[in-house]
C-alpha cells in the first residue's frame, strides 16, 4: 500500500516539481555539507546521538514529563524525519525505471548467454589488467585511489549526461572509518539528510571507484540498487581511465560469479579455475582482505536493508542488486544493435 501511495505521489512530484525541488535541494547540500572538511555522515551521527541521549536522560529527571507525552514527542520526531526523508529524496522510489527511460529490452539470460558474457568479461578484465601491470603481482593501491572521488564523480556525470539525466557536478562521495559500515556487512551508504554518499574505507581498494559511483548515483536521485550498480558500471567502462575500468569490470565479474553460484556451481568453479593467473592472485588477495573485515554482525545489515527495500516498493529486496547483470547485458546488446 505504501509503495502505491509513493508511486502516485511521485508522479505529481516528478511532473511538476522534480527538476526544481530535488535539484534545488541537491544544490543546497552541495554548497553546505559538501564543504565540511570531514564526512557529513559523522555530523549526522553526532546530532542523532545527542537527541537520543537527551531523551534517555529525561527518564532520570526528578519530574519527568508524563510517559505518553514523551512517547508523542518521539513519534512526532520520527514522523518529521520520515517526511523529510521523502521530501529530500524518498519520492524518487517512484521514478520511471531506467530500463524504460533507455528503452532496454530486459530478458532473463540463458545459460549460453551467461557463459558468453562471463568469458567476455574475463577476457576484457585480463586485457585491462595487463595494460595496468604486465605481471602477476598485485596492483598497488595508489593506482586506484589517486584522485578517486573527482575521477569517479566526473565519470558518473558524463554517463548521466549521455543518458539525459540531470545531475550534480559537486556531489560528494567520501570514505568513513574502517569497518564503520562493514561491521554490518554494508560497503557504502547514501544519507539523504546530508546528501552525501559514503563508502567504508576498508572496502578493497580496486572496488572503491565502483562503490563511490553507486552511492553518488543514489545522490542523483536513483533509488533502485540495480540501477545504481548499472550506472556505476557504465561510468567505469566509459571513464577512459584503466584503473576505473578495472574497478567496474572486477565488480561486474563478482556479480556474474554470484549468478553462477546460484544457478550452476560447477560452471562457477570451472570459470574460477580457468582464470588467468594475475586475476586469480587479485581475487585471492581480495578474499584475504575481505576475511579480515567480515563480522558475525553482518547479517543485521542484510536483514535491515532487505526490509527497508521491500517497504519502499522494491519487492526483491537485496536481490535487486543482482539485476545489474540484466541491465548491463541489455545495454551492451543495444550498443551492438545501434552499431
Instruction: Give the Å distances, CA to CA, from 152 to 41, 158, 183.
Output: 19, 10, 25
Please give the pLDDT value at position 296: 86
Residue 118 and residue 11 share a domain: no
Average pLDDT in the 183-208 region? 96
Q: How confident is the model at residue 329 (pLDDT cuts 50, 70, 90)?
A: very high
Q: What is the rounded distance in angstroms from the CA atom of residue 244 to the CA atom of residue 143? A: 9
Residue 292 and residue 169 share a domain: yes
Please give the pLDDT value at position 151: 97
The more confident residue out of 132 and 86 is 132
Q: Are 206 and 144 in contact (CB under 8 A)?
A: yes
Expressed in percent and rounded to 5, the helix, strand and coil fractions of the chain are 70, 5, 25
Residue 305 and residue 184 share a domain: yes
Q: Which domain holds residue 63?
A: 2-94
pLDDT for residue 13 is more than 60: no
pLDDT for residue 11 is more than 80: no
Picking from 94, 129, 151, the residue at the C-terminal end of a domain is 94
Q: Are 128 and 144 in contact (CB under 8 A)?
A: no
Residues 115-164 have pLDDT tens digits of 999 999 999 999 999 999 999 999 999 999 999 999 999 999 999 999 99
Residue 147 and residue 84 share a domain: no
Its pTM surpasses 0.85: yes
Please give the pLDDT value at position 149: 97
Please give the pLDDT value at position 95: 83
Average pLDDT in the 191-219 region? 97
Residue 162 and residue 48 share a domain: no
Residue 220 and residue 115 share a domain: yes
Domain count, the chain: 2
Q: What is the rounded distance in angstroms from the CA atom of residue 283 to the CA atom of residue 271? A: 13
pLDDT for residue 214 is more than 90: yes
Residue partners of 307: CB distance under 8 A and separation at least 6: 317
Picking from 33, 63, 94, the residue at the C-terminal end of a domain is 94
Name the β-bridge partners of 175.
199
Residue 309 and residue 213 share a domain: yes
Residue 274 and residue 132 share a domain: yes
Q: Are 163 and 278 in contact (CB under 8 A)?
A: no
Q: How confident is the model at residue 7 (pLDDT cuts 50, 70, 90)?
A: low
Please give the pLDDT value at position 37: 95
DSSP 186-246: -SEEEETTTTEEEEETTS-GGGHHHHHHHHHHHHTT---HHHHHHHHHHHHHTSS-HHHHH
CB atoms within 10 A of CB 332: 14
pLDDT for residue 318 is more than 60: no
Average pLDDT, the chain: 88
Cell (9 digits) for 8? 502516485
Residue 262 class from Cβ within 10 Å (0-12 exposed, 13-18 middle, 19+ buried)?
Answer: exposed
Residue 21 and residue 165 share a domain: no
Picking from 65, 94, 123, the residue at the C-terminal end of a domain is 94
Residue 309 and residue 202 share a domain: yes
Residue 273 and residue 153 share a domain: yes
Average pLDDT in the 250-278 region? 94
Average pLDDT in the 300-321 region? 66
Residue 190 and residue 129 share a domain: yes
Amino acid at each position: 500500500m505504501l509503495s502505491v501511495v509513493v508511486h502516485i505521489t511521485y508522479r505529481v512530484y516528478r511532473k511538476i516539481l522534480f527538476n526544481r525541488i530535488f535539484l534545488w535541494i541537491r544544490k543546497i547540500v552541495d554548497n553546505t555539507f559538501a564543504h565540511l572538511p570531514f564526512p557529513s555522515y559523522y555530523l549526522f551521527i553526532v546530532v542523532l546521538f545527542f537527541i537520543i541521549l537527551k531523551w534517555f536522560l529525561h527518564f532520570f529527571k526528578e519530574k519527568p514529563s508524563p510517559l505518553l507525552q514523551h512517547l508523542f514527542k518521539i513519534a512526532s520526531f520520527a514522523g518529521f524525519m520520515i517526511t523529510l526523508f521523502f521530501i529530500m529524496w524518498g519520492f524518487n522510489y517512484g521514478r520511471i525505471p531506467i530500463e524504460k527511460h533507455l528503452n532496454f529490452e530486459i530478458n532473463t539470460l540463458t545459460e549460453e548467454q551467461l557463459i558468453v558474457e562471463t568469458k567476455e568479461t574475463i577476457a576484457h578484465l585480463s586485457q585491462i589488467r595487463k595494460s595496468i601491470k604486465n605481471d602477476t603481482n598485485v596492483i598497488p593501491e595508489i593506482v586506484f585511489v589517486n584522485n578517486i572521488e573527482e575521477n569517479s564523480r566526473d565519470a558518473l556525470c558524463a554517463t548521466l549526461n549521455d543518458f539525459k539525466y540531470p545531475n550534480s557536478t559537486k556531489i560528494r562521495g567520501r570514505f568513513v572509518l574502517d569497518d564503520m559500515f562493514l561491521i554490518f556487512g554494508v560497503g557504502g551508504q547514501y544519507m539523504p539528510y546530508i546528501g552525501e554518499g559514503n563508502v567504508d574505507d576498508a572496502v578493497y581498494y580496486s572496488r572503491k571507484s565502483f562503490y563511490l559511483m553507486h552511492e553518488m548515483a543514489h545522490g542523483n536521485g536513483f533509488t533502485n540498487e540495480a540501477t545504481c550498480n548499472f550506472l556505476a558500471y557504465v561510468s567505469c567502462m566509459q571513464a577512459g581511465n584503466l584503473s576505473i575500468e578495472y574497478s567496474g569490470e572486477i565488480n561486474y565479474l563478482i556479480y556474474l560469479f554470484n549468478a553462477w553460484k546460484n544457478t550452476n556451481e560447477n560452471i562457477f568453479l570451472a570459470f574460477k579455475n580457468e582464470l588467468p593467473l594475475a586475476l586469480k592472485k587479485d581475487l585471492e588477495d581480495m578474499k584475504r582482505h575481505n576475511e579480515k573485515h567480515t563480522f558475525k554482525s553482518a547479517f543485521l545489515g542484510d536483514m535491515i536493508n532487505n526490509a527497508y527495500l521491500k517497504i519502499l516498493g522494491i519487492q526483491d529486496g537485496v536481490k535487486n542488486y543482482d539485476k545489474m547483470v540484466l541491465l548491463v547485458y541489455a545495454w551492451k546488446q543495444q550498443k551492438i544493435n545501434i552499431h
